[in-house]
Amino acid sequence: MQVIKTIREIREAVYTARQAGKTVALVPTMGALHEGHGHLIERARRESETVVVSIFVNPLQFGPGEDYGRYPRTLDSDLDFCQSLDVDLIFCPDPPELYPQGQKTFVEVDEIPRELCGRSRPGHFRGVATVVLKLLNIVQPDRAYFGEKDAQQLRVIEQMTADLNVPVEIVAVPTVREPDGLAISSRNRYLSPDQRQSATVLYRALNAAHQALCAGERESVKVLAASQAVLDQDPIVRKEYLEVVDAGSMSPVTTVNGPVRIAGAVWIEKTRLIDNLYWKGE
Ligand code: PAF
């Protein structure tokens, strides 16, 4: 496994792989790797001959007062993890390598970022779309892998690559969960044991909504009431949003008549957790 910090060297390494006729996969990450990333990497490993993992905590996607400074940076263990999964190339630039003179050009996707996380994190998806396009331009992979836990991010990236004709296949990988349902996330490590216990309420709340849909309920207000009743059981957990959204536009729907996601964000003290469940419609 080669660990690379510069754009010039990662381009050379990918060029060499291409010259040898190999297909290239990119798994973009911010490090603090866990089993969820493991699934992305394993899928990439199965589907491509060269696997590149980028590790970069992207300042552009954090707002003022968010956790950029305290976001976990665990490069040594991330490298061991990638080695154990047979990754070929790690691209872990320092911020000045990607943003040498700041950044004056941004990718702004319309509509999809408006609701859910976009409401409380203005500029977040612009930061995500911009860095992902930069990484795609640098590595030029055949495929890039993203988790469905960040469903709104996934849609932003799908839309951006389609609209800008980026020649890459975006592969969506299902959310990986702990046995009690908690979606695996780098931010789970902020939780104390008690908070970790409470954190499952988000999955249980989404599941209640999913069950309401399975039972035939189609009015979002009623579907969400089922979720809210579960959230109310744990006063430690503060709701940021709970919505039934169209799975394509990520805009809230009042009546469910096609594929949707039930999406939620909660705060447990200073930790913000998000999750969602897909409902394919009839
Ligand atoms: O999901 C993440 O870890 C990040 O948002 C991403 C896609 C690597 C962009 O920084």
Fold of the 186-277 domain:
Pantoate--beta-alanine Ligase; Chain: A,domain 2 (3.30.1300)
Q: For residue range 232-257, what is the model confidence (pLDDT) as tens digits? A: 999 999 999 999 999 999 999 999 99
pLDDT at residue 282, as a whole number: 75
DSSP 247: T
Q: What is the layout of strands, in order, in the sheet containing 271-279?
A: 237-246, 260-268, 271-279
> 179: CA distance to ligand 1 center in Å?
24
- Tell me which of 3.40.630.30, 3.40.50.620, 3.30.1370.100, 3.20.20.70 is the CATH number of domain 2-173: 3.40.50.620
pLDDT at residue 211, as a whole number: 97
Q: Identify the segments of the chain with pLDDT beneath 70.
A: none
pLDDT at residue 190, as a whole number: 95
| Residue of 78, 150, 184 to mutate, ligand 1, most atoms within 8 A of C-beta | 150
The reply to whether 2-173 and 186-277 are identical in fold is no
pLDDT at residue 138, as a whole number: 98
pLDDT at residue 281, as a whole number: 84
Q: How many CB atoms lie within 10 A of CB 15?
A: 11
C-beta of 88 in contact with ligand 1 (< 6 A):
no
> 86: CA distance to ligand 1 center in Å?
21
Residue nearest to atom 6 of ligand 1 (CA): 29
Q: Is 37 a catalytic residue?
A: yes
> Residue 132 to residues 106, 127, 168, 268: CA-CA distances in angstroms?
11, 9, 12, 29
- 37, 39, 124, 210: the catalytic one is 37
| 120 vs 111: CA distance, rounded Å | 15
Q: Which sequence spans correspond to the domains of the chain? A: 2-173, 186-277
Q: Closest ligand 1 atom, CA of 57?
A: 10
Q: Exposed/middle/buried for 32, CB within 10 Å: 0-12, 13-18, 19+?
A: buried
